[in-house]
């Protein structure tokens, strides 16, 4: 005993030490998790410029969540393990019972046969006795028949008498009912009459006669000397006690009224004055008494008529009694016989019971064996799986501590992070668990620990993307203690929440809604879900009690204070928040009150979504079948889980011997049959789904290309806040592209068509909303992303191109400082550190003259590298070399590179076309002009309005202080009447922008006039509503970059009629071309900085328009000579020169104009520059001019600007470095 006690104490001590070590390990891990997140948050900001705050409150959240998760998960594992173990125990005990029951069945069979013989013998005796009883029974039945006939006759006599009595009863009942309505006061009132009316006296006289009261003889006033009876004194005596009087009326013996009384009353009955109607005129009480007297009289007379019938009834009853005595004797004899039979039958039944008991035992034994066979046969296959699961659960219950720690860390901290950062945190935390010896499942993470496959499938059906980030977010939303605030620029979370909560009831509100607090209060009160959309970086203070869940008890109920109101807090209330901000900066105070979640769409999730879109468009049959399979599979898998839970529940909760419960066995067996049927269907469906997926995968390259393109444009918001594009807009463009792309029966070829068409469609749509300085950058970004997807770009080489060298180390002194800068030499040396350029620095040293010739070339970007590098390096890698030696030519090289990879059209954005933009708009889709300094779209807009017959239905208002209400009224009117409404300078009304956002989001598509359009103009500002930017048609308005683009845009606005609109057509068209080229030259000179203009001037299309109008007026005058000096003066001093303030710039513009507006321009083949690239044109149609302009170089030589050929070096270098700096800001 002492030995056992010591051993037990040692075990307890070891367990205690183990628990203490585990607790110490968890504490250390928790601290480590917190510290790792602090480090990761700094890295998160440094790499992605995203804020994430880690506070002591976050640590408390970690601990609270860990304790909660550990308790829930441990209870879940133990409960599942317990149920499985009980199920296994039942299966094992059933198997043990089978052998015992087989022996019992063998012993019972002979006993059952003997008992069956005994029962047969008794049956013979009982049959003989029953024949005798049957004869006696027939005799008794005849006598019973005679008795029944006599009874029927007596009943007929009684019924006849009763019918006569029933004739008198209604009057009696009516009288009695009337008496019941009398009160004591009614009687007192009659008695109190000193000189009662004749009718009262008449009634009371009759009443006294009915009670045989003696009258008082008084003098007859009508006959002198004669006496007459007076009953009034007797009446008053009767009325002395009203209650007793009324009782005497109710209890009057109506069956035995003396004939003398009836004879004395009969004269009263005959009197006309003795009726209820007559008496009612003088007394209510006497009316009822009168009815009573008359009813008694009638009842007496009827009773006399019934008397003979009663005598006949008595005689019939006597005869019936005699018959019944005879019948009783016969029945006694029958009973004696039946008692004998009953005794025999009792013995027989006892034998039967014995036989049945034995048979039942045999049957039960047989049935139990069958049930055992059914149970073991049905669930035997589960035994091995359950045993394996129990073994795994035994491990899980140990590992749950570490698993819960990582899951709690993910819920408390990882919400704001991207998938890569979350994965790194999981790895770091797993290392911490190993370090501090906390048991855990290898490779554990949030999803593995907490995901419920059935619930996750329901989420994905509701619209949650299937990537790990989204699934993790879904788990955090469902498990976090704090309400979720989802960073959701693409609206994925918004859509998911709306679909998921649709059936249970969801209220959607915004902070800008007037009644948002009331909606919130109703949600709290009635247990509804509330979604707060478009949250900014600041949260309304009124939300704080809700976010902190500051509930308290009042009157026994849980309540919360919102604003000034105390609201009952319903336990089913849910609160969700979403923001469309791409990279919001929430303060630590806000961050600790919410569960911040990064719902930014991932490449994998978006690719899957886009794959669904393309398959839906290309193969709707497959798409529909896939959707049906996903839903049916989810449903069937849920049914499978429910059935297994039901089986385990029934097994673990069955009482006594499980084989006694037939219903349970049948239910278990049927459940297993159903389970097998569903499992077979699931397997079949999954096979079909795999076949469908194999076909779907053929379209994967299209979805992958589209996904990477979306991330190309989603990053652009970093470049400019106005570059915002919603996922909905992108998918709409994608679906439209699928419809517009060339068709092909070959899926691979069709995929190539789709990729090519959509890539260009996206390029065109995005370029329209980009400023000129960003268009080439976008082309390069697009090209690189596509090549990276093919693994054709080395990450280190890309980083070098954008950022240059990371060190200043060189492989020796600068070999040619006379022409090679130190910076260029350092970059070449660093370039040689890249694998593809290994040894390049040595090659450079060996071929100095060759590289000098490249350096000196005006077309350095087109020069070939010396062997073997010319063939060895790709077009992309040559950009790296050019960056080192001639950065000013990189932009041109980038153009060539993009054109070689994607096509020439990807470096020549189509000219701005307002009509095309308009066609892509809708009443709910605003058109947004993103302005540059000096730009004014009003002329183009008014022109389009006139062309579309909306000149008189166009309204505008310039926003500024106090203009908000006016703009609201205008919008309301426009939506109702179908106007075009233009709100100018939105950037000057930042405070009114939330109102504009609310108005635009609430435009009712089904009610708004189909012709309504909203036009907005704004300079770039971070305060412009993101939702409007993302879903609107955006257009930047600034002069196109380069002479070619500038001329192209100008001429695409002209018409053939305009070209032929002058009386001097040839001179007009040549001078028109000269002025347009002059306009492009003076605008494009700005890129040279101080070399172009001392001051940067914003020359506008309005300057060009008025110059052309004036020139046409002078040409159309009936004068032989064209006044060139007047035209030059108007152009330089009035129109363009009016904004030129610098003297030297004024002198420059006066000289420049002479090249483009002079008599020489009218000469044949007049050249505007020495190289004769730009020659005076007199084409007759716009198309001819466009064809000529297309031949011009994208990058013009400086000579056309009147500058030296080296003038563009500085501006081209700046352009290169600006482009690379912008691209660098987009890199992770």
Confidence of residue 127 (pLDDT cuts 50, 70, 90): confident
Over 80: is that where the pLDDT of 157 sits? no
Angle CA(1185)–CA(1188)–CA(1191) in degrees, nearest 5? 150
Written as six digits, the tokens of 821 are 């800068």
Q: How far apart are CA 1106 and CA 787, in angstroms?
A: 47
* 391-419: b (≥16 Cβ within 10 Å) or e: eebeebbebbbbbbbbbbbbbbbbbbbbb
Q: How far apart are CA 369 and CA 100, in angstroms?
A: 10
pLDDT tens-digit map of 809-819: 877 899 999 99
- pLDDT greater at residue 1030 or residue 622: 1030
Angle CA(810)–CA(812)–CA(813) in degrees, nearest 5? 105
Q: What's the Cα-to-Cα distance from 398 to each of 77, 395, 401, 403, 452, rounded to whole Å?
A: 10, 5, 7, 10, 20
Rg from Cα positions in the chain: 54
Q: Please report the pLDDT score of residue 378 as a whole number.
A: 62
Q: How far apart are CA 750 and CA 699, in angstroms?
A: 9
- Would you say 1168 and 1080 are in contact if contact means Cβ atoms under 8 Å apart? no
Q: How far apart are CA 524 and CA 519, in angstroms?
A: 9
* 334-363: b (≥16 Cβ within 10 Å) or e: beebbeebeebbeebeebbebbeebeebbe
Q: How far apart are CA 22 and CA 436, in angstroms?
A: 8
In the chain, pLDDT over 70 holds for what percent of residues? Answer: 96
Confidence of residue 380 (pLDDT cuts 50, 70, 90): low
- pLDDT greater at residue 320 or residue 481: 481
Closest CA to 710 of 608, 597, 580, 584: 608
Residue entry with tokens 């699928």: 738
- Listed in sequence order, the residues at least 6 apart from 520 whose beta carbon sits closer than 8 Å to its beta carbon are 509, 530, 532, 543, 546, 562, 575
- pLDDT greater at residue 488 or residue 1206: 488
- What is the third-level CATH fold of 1043-1193? Helicase, Ruva Protein; domain 3 (1.10.8)
Q: How far apart are CA 19 and CA 16, in angstroms?
A: 5
Closest CA to 1083 of 968, 1207, 935, 1184: 935
Closest CA to 1020 of 767, 726, 720: 720
Q: Quick one: average pLDDT of 1146-1167? A: 93
| H/E run at residue 557 | strand 557-562
Over 60: is that where the pLDDT of 168 sits? no
- pLDDT greater at residue 806 or residue 112: 806
Q: Please report the pLDDT score of residue 1057 as a whole number.
A: 93
Give alpha helix (H) positions in 410-467. 419-435, 446-450, 453-461
Give the pairing of strands 574-579 and 529-533: parallel
Residue range(s) occupied by CATH 1.10.8.720 in the chain = 1043-1193
Give DSSP secondary structure letters for 76-130: HHHHHHHHHHHHHHHHHHHHHHHHHHHHHHHHHHHHHHHHHHHHHHHHHHHHHHH
Task: Give every strand in the sheet of 1033-1037, ordered side by side.
Answer: 954-958, 980-984, 1013-1018, 927-931, 1033-1037
The SS3 call for residue 1228 is coil
Q: Quick one: average pLDDT of 297-323? A: 75
Written as six digits, the tokens of 687 are 């096979």
Q: Quick one: average pLDDT of 474-503? A: 94
Superfamily of segment(s) 914-1037: P-loop containing nucleotide triphosphate hydrolases (3.40.50.300)
User: Is 891 exposed, middle or buried, given 0-12, 13-18 or 19+ CB atoms closer than 10 A?
Assistant: buried
Q: Please report the pLDDT score of residue 9 as a whole number.
A: 67
Residue 442 φ/ψ region, left for φ over 0, alpha for ψ in the -120 to 50 degree band, beta for the rest: beta
Q: How far apart are CA 1194 and CA 1044, in angstroms?
A: 6
User: Is 493 exposed, middle or buried, given 0-12, 13-18 or 19+ CB atoms closer than 10 A?
Assistant: buried
Q: Please report the pLDDT score of residue 667 as a whole number.
A: 73
Q: How far apart are CA 575 and CA 497, in angstroms?
A: 10
Angle CA(710)–CA(715)–CA(719) in degrees, nearest 5? 140
Residue range(s) occupied by CATH 3.40.50.300 in the chain = 462-599, 914-1037
Please tell me the pTM assigned to this model: 0.71
Q: Please report the pLDDT score of residue 295 as a whole number.
A: 87
CB atoms within 10 A of CB 646: 14
Q: Please report the pLDDT score of residue 475 as a whole number.
A: 96
Over 90: is that where the pLDDT of 446 sits? yes
Over 70: is that where the pLDDT of 938 sits? yes
- What is the third-level CATH fold of 462-599? Rossmann fold (3.40.50)
- Listed in sequence order, the residues at least 6 apart from 521 whose beta carbon sits closer than 8 Å to its beta carbon are 562, 565, 567
CB atoms within 10 A of CB 272: 7
Q: How far apart are CA 1149 and CA 1139, in angstroms?
A: 11
Please give the distance of CA 851 from its chain centroid, rounded to a whole number.
63
Q: Please report the pLDDT score of residue 135 as a whole number.
A: 77
Q: How far apart are CA 232 and CA 296, in angstroms?
A: 21
Over 70: is that where the pLDDT of 1145 sits? yes
- Listed in sequence order, the residues at least 6 apart from 655 whose beta carbon sits closer than 8 Å to its beta carbon are none
User: Is 62 exposed, middle or buried, given 0-12, 13-18 or 19+ CB atoms closer than 10 A?
Assistant: buried
Q: Note the residue count of the chain.
A: 1228
Please give the distance of CA 837 from its chain centroid, rounded to a whole number.
53
Over 70: is that where the pLDDT of 164 sits? no
């Amino acid at each position: 005993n002492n030995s056992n006690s010591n051993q037990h104490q040692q075990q307890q001590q070891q367990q205690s030490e183990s628990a203490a070590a585990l607790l110490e390990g968890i504490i250390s891990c928790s601290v480590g998790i917190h510290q790792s997140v602090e480090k990761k948050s700094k890295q998160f900001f440094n790499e992605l410029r995203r804020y994430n705050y880690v506070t002591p409150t976050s640590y408390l959240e970690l601990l609270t969540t860990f304790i909660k998760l550990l308790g829930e998960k441990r209870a879940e594992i133990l409960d599942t393990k317990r149920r499985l173990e009980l199920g296994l125990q039942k299966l094992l005990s059933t198997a043990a019972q089978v052998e015992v029951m087989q022996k019992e069945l063998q012993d019972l069979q002979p006993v059952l046969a003997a008992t069956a013989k005994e029962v047969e013998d008794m049956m013979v005796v009982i049959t003989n006795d029953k024949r005798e009883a049957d004869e006696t029974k027939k005799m008794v039945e005849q006598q019973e028949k005679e008795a029944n006939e006599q009874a029927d006759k007596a009943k007929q006599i009684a019924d006849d008498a009763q019918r006569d009595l029933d004739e008198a009863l209604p009057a009696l009942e009516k009288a009695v009912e009337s008496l019941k309505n009398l009160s004591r006061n009614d009687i007192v009132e009659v008695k109190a009459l000193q000189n009662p009316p004749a009718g009262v006296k008449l009634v009371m006289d009759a009443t006294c006669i009915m009670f045989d009261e003696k009258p008082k003889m008084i003098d007859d006033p009508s006959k002198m000397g004669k006496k007459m009876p007076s009953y009034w004194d007797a009446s008053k005596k009767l009325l002395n006690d009203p209650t007793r009087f009324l009782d005497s009326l109710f209890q009057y013996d109506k069956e035995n009224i003396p004939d003398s009384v009836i004879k004395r009353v009969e004269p009263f009955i005959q009197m006309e004055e003795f009726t209820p109607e007559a008496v009612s005129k003088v007394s209510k009480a006497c009316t009822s008494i009168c009815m009573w007297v008359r009813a008694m009289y009638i009842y007496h007379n009827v009773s006399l008529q019934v008397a003979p019938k009663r005598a006949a009834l008595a005689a019939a009853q006597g005869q019936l009694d005699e018959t019944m005595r005879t019948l009783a004797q016969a029945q006694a004899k029958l009973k004696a016989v039946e008692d004998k039979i009953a005794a025999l039958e009792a013995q027989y039944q006892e034998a039967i019971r014995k036989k049945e008991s034995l048979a039942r035992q045999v049957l039960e034994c047989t049935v139990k064996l069958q049930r055992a066979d059914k149970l073991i046969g049905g669930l035997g296959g589960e035994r091995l799986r359950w045993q394996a699961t129990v073994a795994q659960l035994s491990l899980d219950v140990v590992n749950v501590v570490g698993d819960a720690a990582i899951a709690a860390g993910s819920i408390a901290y990882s919400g704001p992070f991207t998938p890569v950062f979350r994965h790194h945190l999981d790895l770091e935390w797993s290392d911490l668990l190993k370090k501090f010896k906390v048991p855990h499942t290898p490779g554990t993470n949030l999803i593995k620990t907490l995901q419920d496959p059935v619930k996750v499938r329901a989420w994905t059906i509701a619209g949650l993307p299937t990537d790990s980030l989204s699934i993790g977010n879904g788990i955090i939303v469902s498990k976090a203690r704090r309400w979720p605030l989802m960073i959701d620029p693409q609206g994925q979370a918004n859509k998911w929440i709306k679909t998921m909560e649709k059936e249970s009831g969801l209220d959607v509100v915004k902070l800008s809604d007037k009644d948002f607090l009331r909606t919130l209060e109703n949600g709290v009160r009635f247990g509804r879900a509330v979604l707060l959309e478009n949250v900014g970086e600041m949260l309304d203070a009124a939300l704080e009690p809700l976010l902190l869940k500051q509930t308290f008890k009042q009157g026994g109920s849980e309540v919360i204070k919102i604003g000034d109101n105390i609201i009952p807090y319903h336990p089913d209330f849910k609160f969700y928040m979403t923001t469309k901000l791409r990279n919001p900066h929430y303060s630590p105070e806000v961050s600790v009150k919410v569960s911040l979640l990064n719902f930014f769409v991932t490449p994998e999730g978006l690719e899957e979504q886009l794959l669904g879109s393309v398959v839906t468009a290309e193969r709707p049959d497959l798409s529909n079948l896939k959707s049906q399979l996903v839903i049916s599979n989810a449903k069937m898998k849920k049914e499978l889980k429910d059935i297994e839970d039901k089986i385990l529940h029934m097994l673990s909760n069955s009482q006594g011997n499980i084989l006694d419960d037939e219903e349970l066995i049948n239910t278990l067996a049927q459940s297993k049959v159903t389970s097998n049927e569903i499992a077979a269907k699931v397997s079949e469906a999954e096979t079909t789904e795999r076949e469908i997926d194999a076909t779907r995968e053929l379209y994967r390259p299209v979805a992958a290309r589209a996904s990477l393109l979306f991330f190309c444009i989603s990053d652009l918001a970093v470049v400019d806040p106005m570059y915002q594009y919603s996922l909905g807009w992108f998918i709409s463009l994608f679906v439209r592209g699928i419809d517009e792309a060339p068709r092909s029966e070959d899926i691979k070829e069709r995929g190539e068509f789709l990729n090519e068409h959509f890539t260009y469609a996206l390029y065109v749509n995005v370029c329209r909303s980009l400023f000129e300085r960003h268009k080439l950058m976008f082309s390069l970004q697009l090209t690189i992303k596509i090549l990276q997807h093919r693994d054709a770009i080395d990450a280190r080489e890309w980083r070098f191109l954008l950022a240059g060298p990371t060190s200043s180390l060189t492989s020796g002194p600068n070999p040619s400082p006379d022409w090679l800068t130190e910076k260029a030499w350092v970059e070449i040396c660093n370039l040689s550190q890249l694998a593809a350029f290994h040894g390049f620095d040595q090659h450079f040293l060996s071929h100095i003259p060759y590289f000098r010739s490249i350096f000196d070339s005006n077309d350095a970007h087109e020069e070939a590298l010396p062997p073997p590098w010319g063939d060895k390096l790709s077009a992309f890698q040559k950009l790296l070399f050019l960056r080192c030696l001639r950065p000013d030519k990189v932009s041109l090289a980038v153009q060539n590179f993009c054109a070689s990879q994607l096509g020439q059209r990807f470096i020549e954005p189509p000219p701005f076309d307002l009509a095309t933009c308009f066609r892509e708009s809708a009443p709910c889709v605003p058109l947004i002009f993103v302005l540059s300094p000096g730009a004014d779209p009003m002329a183009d807009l008014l022109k389009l309005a006139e062309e579309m017959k909306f000149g008189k239905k166009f309204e505008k208002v310039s926003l500024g202080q106090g203009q908000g209400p006016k703009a609201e009224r205008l919008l309301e009117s426009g939506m109702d009447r179908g106007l075009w409404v233009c709100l100018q300078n939105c950037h000057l009304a930042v405070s009114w922008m939330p109102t504009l956002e609310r108005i635009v989001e609430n435009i009712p598509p089904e009610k708004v006039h189909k012709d309504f359009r909203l036009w907005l103009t704004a300079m770039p500002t971070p305060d412009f509503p993101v939702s409007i930017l993302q879903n609107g048609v955006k257009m930047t308005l600034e002069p196109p970059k380069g002479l070619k683009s500038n001329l192209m845009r100008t001429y695409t606005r002209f018409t053939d009629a305009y070209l032929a609109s002058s009386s001097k057509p040839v001179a007009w068209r040549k001078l028109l071309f000269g002025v347009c080229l002059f306009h492009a030259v003076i605008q494009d000179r700005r890129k040279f900085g101080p070399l172009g203009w001392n001051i940067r001037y914003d020359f506008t299309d309005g300057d060009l328009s008025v110059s052309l109008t004036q020139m046409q007026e002078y040409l159309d005058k009936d004068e032989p000579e064209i006044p060139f000096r007047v035209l030059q003066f108007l152009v330089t001093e009035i129109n363009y020169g009016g904004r030129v303030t610098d003297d030297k710039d004024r002198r420059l513009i006066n000289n420049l104009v002479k090249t483009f507006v002079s008599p020489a321009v009218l000469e044949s083949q007049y050249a505007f520059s020495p190289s004769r690239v730009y020659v005076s044109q007199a084409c007759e149609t716009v198309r001819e001019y466009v064809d000529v302009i297309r031949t011009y170089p994208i990058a013009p030589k400086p000579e056309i600007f009147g500058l030296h050929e080296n003038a563009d070096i500085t501006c081209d270098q700046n352009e290169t470095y600006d482009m690379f700096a912008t691209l660098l800001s987009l890199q992770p």
